[in-house]
Structure 1
Amino acid sequence: MLHYVPAVIALLLLIILFRYLPGRVFFIFAFLTAIMGGVLLHTQMEKREEPPLTQERLAAMNRDQELFVPWWNDYQKGIGELDRCWTRYHQILADAKNGESDIRATYARLSELERDMQDLRARMDKNVPPVTLSDEIYNPVASIVVKTDAYVAAEQKAVTLTRAAADPAAMQEKKPAEQARLLELVMLRESPVALFIEDEIGAVRKYLAPVSAVHRDERVKPDETTKKTND
């Protein structure tokens, strides 16, 4: 019942202000009030839609966390390896640009990197999320997998095309500086922007937050008990 009090107050204010404010100012005020009311209503509806935190739901969250954490740890390891491969890629091109490696050495290093990235992608593809996860966590995790696969594919494509451009048999440029510039252009054209999974990670954290809070409380309790005993 208390939810309707702000609406009643806002309505009374509109009636009063309608008599004393100029028409244009009143309509601006009414428009802003309507927007704020819509935001508040949407927030209240979202809060009401959240399922009650029952013991059964907590148990389901605990089970989901036990399934999610191993998958997430493996996922992070794969992302770490991917970052190292991408760092190698930029280092190879930097060495070519600085004249520290000729086109044959650059081609050999890019070929090795390409094989390493193919192997990494095959291993990352095997790290599928558990299908027994609840929908609340499985859906964002599945979205992470789809976005990551597209990102890995884009990086792998960039390396492959750069390796093809560095093939000494096909290279048309003769000057090392021009060769390095050509490879850099391929890198700039083909490199993916970024891996945007912040929303999905936020959804997972929000879902598991009650379970994490319970675990934190359980870790604190023994310390508190020990303190009371010592006192």
Structure 2
Amino acid sequence: MQEENRQTLRWLMLGVVGVVALVGAGVTWQALHRPSAPVSGMQAWASLGGPIQLTSARGDFRLAEVSMGEAAPPDATPVVALYFGYTQCPDVCPMTLAALRQVLTELPASAAARVVPVLVSLDPERDTPARLATYAGHFGPRFIGVTGSDTELAEIARRYGVSHRRVDAPDSALGYTVDHGAALYLVSAQGRIYDRIPFTPGAAGIRAGLTRVLSETAP
């Protein structure tokens, strides 16, 4: 009888573990697939963002003065796709910018024209405005590359919650790399953060976030 009770108890414990696992999997799936709210509406991000003034090959760059494409409706507002990286980045930077380029080609012309793609280089030692213009141009004529002094970049990165650090690589021809956050920010011309899209391979995340923000900010 005691052995039978022990066997029943073991089966009950296994059942409880199974239910907990299923519930946990459901919570995880919902967390991964839940539509993300605009970052500006989240308490943790309420103080982030703000104006940006840096340097590009075209001269001074001001976030507040970005220009949309010719196909944008006259009463439309721009959505700046802001990415922090550098031209020597071996993987996530070109992958993110290529995914953004793909999404822009898929959008209706009037919607794509509202998007202003901007790469902020965190490597001002190597990324001159001219080099940034060449690099950004590989992804499309409307892609803008900007940079500034270490002090300016550190202050902007802090306001946008972007972590970055230089990592010496003496055995590499590059000499050093830059570790940095890989999220893509969708912001207004005033620096209000609409969304922060974490890096994932492929264009699905950018497509979903950009489509949603463009819809919510449509005239």
TM-score by length of 2: 0.28
If each structure's helix is expressed as a fraction of its own residues, which one has the higher value? 1
If each structure's strand is expressed as a fraction of its own residues, which one has the higher value? 2
> Whose radius of gyration is greater, 1 or 2?
1
TM-score by length of 1: 0.27
